[in-house]
Amino acid sequence: MGKIIALANQKGGVGKTTTAINLAASLAALGRRTLLVDADPQANATSGLGFDINGPNIYDVISGEKTAAEVILKSVDIDDLWLLPSSINLVGAELELSAMDEGHFVMRKILAPVSDDYDYILIDCQPSLGFITVNALTAADSVLIPVQCEYFALEGLGKLLNTIRMVKGKLNPALETEGFLMTMYARTRLSNQVVHEVRQHFGTLAFETIVQRNIRLSEAPSYGKPVLLYDAASSGSANYLNLAKELIQRNS
C-alpha cells in the first residue's frame, strides 16, 4: 500500500503547491510510483503539471459520478507520475461533505481502491482548515508541513497542529507528522533565524533539506512543468530531488 502524505498549511503562499508538484515529480524521477492528488479548488497543482482544469476531476469522484481510477491522469513527461486533478467545482464539496454521513472519511474511501498502485500518494490541501483538508488528514498516514523562511513563519502553525491533534484523536489515530519543510530560504539573518527556530521547536521533524528562493521554481508552473523538466540544473530542482531522497530514506 502506498504511503499517503498530506501537504498542509492553512497559511497561503508558503510553497505548499510548489512542494507538492516538485516533490511528486522528484519521487517519480527516482523511480517511485507517485500519485499527486489535487485537493485544492484553485487547481494549481493540476495546471502546474500541464493538465486541463476543465476535465473530469476529484469533485466527480467525491460526488460518486466517477471512480478515482477513471479520473486519474498519467504524466506524458515523467514516468511513474500520475495526477488526480482538481477544478473550481471542488468548492461545492465543502457543504456536500459536511452533510454526508461519515463525510470525514470520503477521501479515504475514494483513495483506498488505488492505494496499492503507488509507492507514494501526495495530497495537496487547500490553504484552509476546512472540511476537505480534514478529509485529507483523515485519509493520510502523515502530514508534511511547509514553513516559509519569513517573518510570521510560525504564526498560525498552532491552529494547524491543533487540527492535526484533533484528527488524530477522533478520526485517524495513525496520523503522524512527516516533517516540517523550510521553504523560500534566502541568505539573510531573518531566514537563518526562522531555520533556527523551526529546528529548535521541532528537532528531527524538521527536514535537513531547505528549499531556497529560486526564480526557476516560480516560472516553471506557467509552462505546466515541474522545475525538474523546466530547468534541471537549477537550485530548486536540486532542492526537491534532495527532499525526495530524504523522504525515501526516512521511510525505508
3 state SS for 163-221: HHHHHHHHCCCCCEEEEEEEEEECCCHHHHHHHHHHHHHHHHHEEEEEEECCHHHHHHH
- Nearest-angstrom CA–CA distance, 100 and 98: 6
Q: Helices (H), strands (E): how many in the chain?
A: 12, 8
Q: Give first-to-last CA distance, the chain, whole Å.
A: 14
Summarised one tens digit per residue, pLDDT across range 134-192 is 999 999 999 999 999 987 878 778 889 999 999 999 999 999 999 999 999 998 999 99
**71 band by pLDDT with thresholds 50, 70 and 90:** very high
Q: Which of 206, 35, 231, 209 is nearest to 117 (CA)?
A: 35
Residue 129 pLDDT: 84
Summarised one tens digit per residue, pLDDT across range 20-69 is 999 999 999 999 999 999 999 999 999 999 999 999 999 999 999 999 99
Q: Is the pTM of this model over 0.85?
A: yes
